[in-house]
């Protein structure tokens, strides 16, 4: 074992780095939310072209730049994680045929692995909201969302940090207008990764879909 770091250990380090990145992106997103929900594309000048005095323009510019850099780092990290997950699965196939049956039932990019690796907290399998309406030609339809899709992750929100307030989703949508928002959904027995881009369209809002709490959540 002194030969170096194992694939599983490398995966765990990558996932820890991913968690830190996502926390930083969320922190900068909160700065934008605190500045009148200006988001990534809200105007920094007033109608007369003067710098807005209701927001901290320097703070907003810094937060936006940081988010762009962090999102690029996140994309690269996800590519590395995908590579290591593929490698890990192929190693399992040769060293532990029994384990591969369980591993193969797992989405390669579901941010989880088997065999006790301590990186399961970033991919909760529990749905916290459900899609009950998707409008034709909307950003939601473009992303591939369908009625009945159970959402496991919406950007930085998952079942671990969701407080039962749909406003959390609304805040992400406002802050990420015209930006890629990563979704993980469950459709039947399938888990899928989708990219949703909140934006203005011919209908109402920025998504063109409606989400509700799952029935079991409403019973509590």
| Selection from 167, 168, 145 nearest residue 156 by Cα | 168
pTM (predicted TM-score): 0.45
SS3 (DSSP) at 210: strand
Q: H or E segment at 145?
A: none
* Residue 207 exposed, middle or buried by CB count within 10 Å (0-12, 13-18, 19+): buried
pLDDT tens digit at each of 220 positions of the chain: 445 778 888 888 888 888 888 889 888 989 988 988 888 888 888 888 899 899 999 999 999 999 988 888 888 888 888 888 878 777 766 665 555 454 444 443 444 433 333 333 334 458 889 999 999 999 999 999 999 999 998 988 888 888 888 888 888 888 888 888 888 898 888 888 888 999 999 988 899 999 888 876 544 4
Instruction: Give the integer Cα–Cα distance in Å for 219 and 51.
Output: 48
Instruction: Give the integer Cα–Cα distance in Å for 214 and 121.
Output: 21
């Amino acid at each position: 074992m002194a030969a170096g770091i194992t694939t599983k250990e490398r995966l765990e380090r990558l996932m820890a780095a991913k968690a830190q990145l996502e926390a930083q992106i969320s922190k900068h997103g909160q700065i934008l939310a605190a500045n009148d929900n200006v988001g990534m594309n809200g105007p920094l000048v007033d109608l007369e072209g003067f710098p807005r005095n209701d927001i901290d323009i320097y703070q907003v510019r810094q937060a936006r730049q940081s988010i762009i850099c962090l999102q690029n780092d996140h994309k690269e990290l996800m590519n590395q994680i995908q590579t290591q997950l593929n490698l890990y699965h192929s190693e399992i196939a040769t060293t532990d045929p029994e384990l591969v049956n369980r591993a193969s039932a797992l989405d390669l990019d579901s941010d989880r692995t088997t065999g006790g690796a301590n990186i399961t907290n970033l991919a909760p399998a529990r749905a916290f909201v459900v899609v009950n309406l998707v409008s034709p030609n909307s950003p939601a339809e473009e992303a591939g969302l369908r009625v009945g899709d159970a959402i496991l992750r919406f950007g930085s929100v998952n079942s671990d940090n969701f407080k039962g307030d749909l406003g959390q989703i609304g805040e992400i949508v406002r802050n990420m207008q015209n930006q890629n928002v990563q979704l993980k959904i469950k459709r039947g027995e399938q888990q899928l990764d989708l990219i949703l881009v909140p934006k203005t369209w011919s209908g109402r809002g920025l998504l063109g879909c409606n989400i509700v709490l799952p029935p079991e959540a409403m019973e509590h």
